[in-house]
Chain A
Amino acid sequence: MSMIDSIMAGLALVGNVEALVSLAIGIVIGVIGGAIPGISATMAVALTLPFTFPMQPINGILLLLGVYKGGIFGGSIPAILIKTPGTPASSATVLDGHPMAAKGEAGRALGMALWASCTADLISNLSLILLAGWLASFALSFGPPEFFALILFSLTIIAGVSGESLLRGALAALLGLLLATIGLDLVYGTNRFTFGHPNLMGGLNFIAVLIGLFAIPEVINMVWHPTGHMGKVQTLGNKWVTFAEYKRCFRSIVRGSFIGVFLGSIPGIGAAPAAFLSYSEARRKSPNKANFGKGEIEGVAASEAGNNGVAGATLIPLLALGVPGDVITAIIIGAFMVHGLQPGPMMFVMNVDIIYGLFIGLIFSSGLLFIVGGLAIRGFKPVADIPKRILMPIVLVLCIYGVFAVNNSIFDVAVMFVMGWVGFVMTRYHIPAAPFLIAFILGPLLEDNFRKSMLMSGGAPDILLRGPITWFFWALTLLAVVAIARGTLDKAREKS
C-alpha cells in the first residue's frame, strides 16, 4: 500500500462524524477528569476504557487519546486555581500559575496554558507522524534478543524516574513483574501461582489490575480521610491572555514542545520531568528570570508546552515498538488489545489504515482541544463543585461495571478490589504505581523474549548480545543505570 493509499484509508476511517464526536467527547471527559483533583488523567483514561468496548476500534482509541490529551491540559486548571495539580504533569504549572491566580490573573494564566498546550500538542503530533513509521520500519528487523534488550532498557528507565526513591520504584517494578508471572507458563503450560483456580490460569486481568491500582486507592483514601480534599477555589479575574504575550512566549513554547517530544519518545520518562525541564530552560533563557516563581506567564507557557509535548510523543514507542511510553499509554495499550490489535512494528504492516486514521485524528485533536479547553476554563467552577463524597461512590460503581464488562467475570471485580488495597498500601508507603503497572505489562514480554532467545541459542546467553541493535540497547541500559546511580549518590551527598 502506498503512502497516499494509506492516508486515504486512514481518512476513510476517521472522516466521519462518529470518529470526530468520539474524539471531542474524549477531550471533554479528559478535561473534566484532569480538572477534578483526585481523578487525574490516568484515572479518567482507565475509567473510560470499558466504554470503548462496543465501539469501532479506531473510535474507541480516539476517544481514549482525547481523554489523554484533554486530561493533560485539564490538570493545569486546578494547578492554577487551587494549587492542586490535577495530574503530576501539571506540577510545574503550579509554580507560576498559582501566583498569577493569587494576583487575580487566573484567566490569563489559564488562557496561556491552553495556547501553549495546543501548540505543543500539534508539534508533538507532527513529530509522532514523522518518527513512528521510521522507527517501526527499523523495528521490523528486531528478533527476540533485540526485543529483550529494548524492554529491559524501558524497565530500567521506568524504575529510575517514576518516584522520589529509586529503590521504591524498583520494588514496585519487581512486584509488577512477579504478579505478571501468575498463570500458565508460556513455554511448558505448567501452573504458576494459580492454586488450581481456573480464573487465574490466564493470569490477572490487566484492566482489573490497572483500575484497581489507580482508581480504587482514591476511593479508599477518601474513606480514610473524608475531609482531606477541602480547598479554596480562586476566581478567574478579568484579564485574559493576549496574542502579544503568546508571541513573547513562543520561543519557550516551541523549546518546551521539543523537550517534551524528546523525553516523551523515550519510554518511561513521562510528562512531569519534561514540564520541569522545559520550565527550567525557559527560566534560564528568559530576560524576566527574576519573575519566575512569582507569577511569570512565560513559566506557565513553558511548563504546559513541556507536558503537552509529551502527549503525542509517548505514542511513538507505543505504536512503533509496542512499548508504552508512560502509564497512560500503558492503559491505552489495553484498548488496542481489547480490540484485537497489537501495537508494534507489525501494526504498520497489518493495520496501516488504523495507524493513519489515528494520525489524522490526532491532528484534529489539537484544534478540538483548543475549543473544548476554552469552554472548560469558563465552565470549571461547576465541575469543581461536584462534592467529592458523591464523586467517589460514582467512581466505585463505574469501576465495578467497567471491570466486569471486560471478561464478564465477577472474579475480575475481586481482583480489582484486592489491587485497590495494594494500591492504597503503596500510596501510604510512597511506592509509585507507574513502575508496577508498566512492569506488569512488560513482564510477560520480557520473559517471553528472554526464553525465546534461550530456545533459539540452546541456552547460550551470548545471543542477547548478538548484533548492533542489542549492543545499542545494552549500552543505553548501562548509561541509564549509571545516570540513575549518579543521581541517587548526588542526592545522598546533598542530604549529608
Chain B
Amino acid sequence: MSKRAIQLQLGIGAFAACLFLILYAIPYWISAPSNIRNIVLSPRFWPYAIAGLTGLVGLGMLFANRKPDEDDAPVNDPIEDPGAGLIRLAGMAVLMAVTFWLLPHIGMVWAAMLAFAALAFLVRTRHPKTALICALVVPLLLYGFFAHVAGVAIPQGDYVRLP
C-alpha cells in the first residue's frame, strides 16, 4: 500500500467513524439524564466533541491527499507470500480466541502451554525442540511467580490443578 492509499483509506475511515458515532453510537449507546441544564455537562458532550474532531481529521486527510504523490512506492516491507501471511494472521486470530476460551476451562498454565506451542508452530520456528521445552517451562515458571510470590489466583481450570 502506498502512502497515498493509506491516507485515503484513513480519511474515509475517520469520516465514516465520525458519522457512525454521531448518528448512531452516541445517541444509542450513551445514556444521559433528561434534566441536564447545560449541554457541556452532558455525558454525551465529550464523545460528540471527539467524534466531530475525528470527522475534521478525516476531512483533513482527504484534503491533504488531493494532490497525486510522486513517490507511490509501498510503505510497508513486502513479504514473500501475502496469501500465506493472511492465513497465518487468521490462524493467530483463532489462536487468541481459543486461548481466551480455554483459560477458564483448562486453566492458564495449560492454555499458555498450548498457545506457546501453537504460536511457535505458526511462525515456523527452526528450533522445535527448544520451543517445546520453553512451552512447558515458561508457563510453569510464570505460574510459580504469580501464584506463589505475587499471590495472584491464577485460573486452574476444571481438570488438572497445580499446587
- Distance between B44 CB and nearest chain A CB, rounded to angstroms: 8
A392 to B51, CA, bound (A): 36
Question: Would you call B146 and A405 a contact (CB within 8 A)?
Answer: yes
Q: Are A387 and B112 in contact (CB under 8 A)?
A: no
| Cross-chain contact A225 with B6 (CB below 8 angstroms) | no
- The reply to whether A393 and B10 contact each other, CB–CB distance below 8 Å, is no
In the complex, chain A residues whose CB is within 8 Å of the CB of B85? 224-225
A188 touches B43 (CB 8 A): yes
B73 close to chain A: CB less than 8 A: no
B158: CB under 8 A from chain A? no
- A174, A223, A396, A461: the one contacting B50 at CB < 8 Å is A174
Residues of A within 8 A of B106 (CB): none
Q: Which of B123, B134, B154 contacts A223 (CB 8 A)?
A: B123
Contact B32–A390 (Cβ < 8 Å): no
CB-CB under 8 A from A228, the residues of chain B are 77, 79
- Knowing A190-B43, A455-B41 touch, does A167 contact B88 (C-beta < 8 A)? no
Instruction: State the Cβ distance, A123 to closest chain B Cβ, in Å.
Output: 36
Q: Name the interface size band of chain B.
A: 35 or more
Q: Does A294 touch B at the CB level, under 8 Å?
A: no
> Is the beta-carbon distance between B152 and A192 smaller than 8 angstroms?
no
Are the CB atoms of A389 and B41 closer together than 8 Å? no
Measured between beta carbons, the chain A residues less than 8 angstroms from B46 are 181, 447, 450-451
Q: Which residues of B contact A496 (CB under 8 A)?
A: 67
B119's contact among A195, A393, A430, by CB below 8 Å, is which? A393
In B109-125, the 8 Å CB interface with A consists of 111-112, 115-117, 119-120, 122-125
Interface of B is mostly: helix
> Which chain A residues lie closer than 8 Å to B79 at the CB level?
224-225, 228
Q: B27 near A: Cβ within 8 Å?
A: no
Distance in Å from the Cβ of A416 to the closest Cβ of chain B? 9
Contact string against B for A residues 31-56, beta-carbon threshold 8 Å, 1 for contact and 0 otherwise: 00000000000000000001101100
Residue pair A401, B123 in contact (C-beta under 8 Å): no
Chain A: CB-nearest residue to B99:
A400
Question: Which residue of A54, A393, A428 contacts B151 across the interface (Cβ within 8 Å)?
Answer: A54
Q: Mark A388-409, 1 if CB is under 8 A from B, else 0.
A: 0110111011101100110010
Contact B123 A222 (CB under 8 A): yes
Contacts of B122 in A (CB 8 A): 223
Closest chain A residue to B133 by CB distance?
Answer: A390
B53 contacts A187, C-beta separation under 8 Å: no
**With A393-B135, A429-B10 in contact, is A191–B115 under 8 Å at CB?**
no
- Interface flag for B108 (CB, 8 Å): yes
- B152, A404: Cβ atoms closer than 8 Å: yes
- When distances are taken between beta carbons in the complex, the residues of chain A under 8 Å from B40 are 450-451, 454, 459, 461
User: Which B residue sits closest to A175, measured CB to CB?
Assistant: B54
Contact A224/B88 with A190-B33, A405-B146 known, Cβ cut-off 8 Å: yes
Most buried by B among A192, A408, A431: A192
Contacts of B111 in A (CB 8 A): 400
Q: What's the least CB distance linking A137 to chain B, in Å?
A: 31
**Could you list 4 further interchain pairs (A-B, Cβ under 8 angstroms) beyond the known A167-B57, A187-B43, A420-B96?**
A170-B53, A191-B29, A413-B100, A451-B46
13 contacts between A and B (CB under 8 A): A175-B54, A178-B47, A178-B54, A181-B50, A187-B41, A192-B29, A192-B43, A223-B88, A387-B130, A393-B117, A401-B143, A404-B103, A459-B38
Residues of B within 8 A of A (CB): 1, 3, 6-7, 9-10, 14, 21, 25, 29-33, 36-38, 40-41, 43, 46-47, 50-51, 53-54, 57-58, 60-61, 64, 67, 75-77, 79-80, 85, 88-89, 91-93, 96, 99-100, 103-104, 108, 111-112, 115-117, 119-120, 122-127, 130-131, 134-135, 138-139, 142-143, 145-146, 149-155
Residues of A within 8 A of B (CB): 50-51, 53-54, 165, 167-168, 170-171, 174-175, 177-178, 181, 185, 187-188, 190-193, 195, 219-220, 222-228, 387, 389-390, 392-394, 396-398, 400-401, 404-405, 408, 410, 413-414, 417, 420-421, 428-431, 447, 450-451, 454-455, 458-459, 461, 492, 496
* Nearest 9 pairs of A and B residues by beta carbon: A459-B38, A185-B43, A54-B150, A389-B125, A393-B119, A393-B116, A417-B96, A226-B123, A190-B31
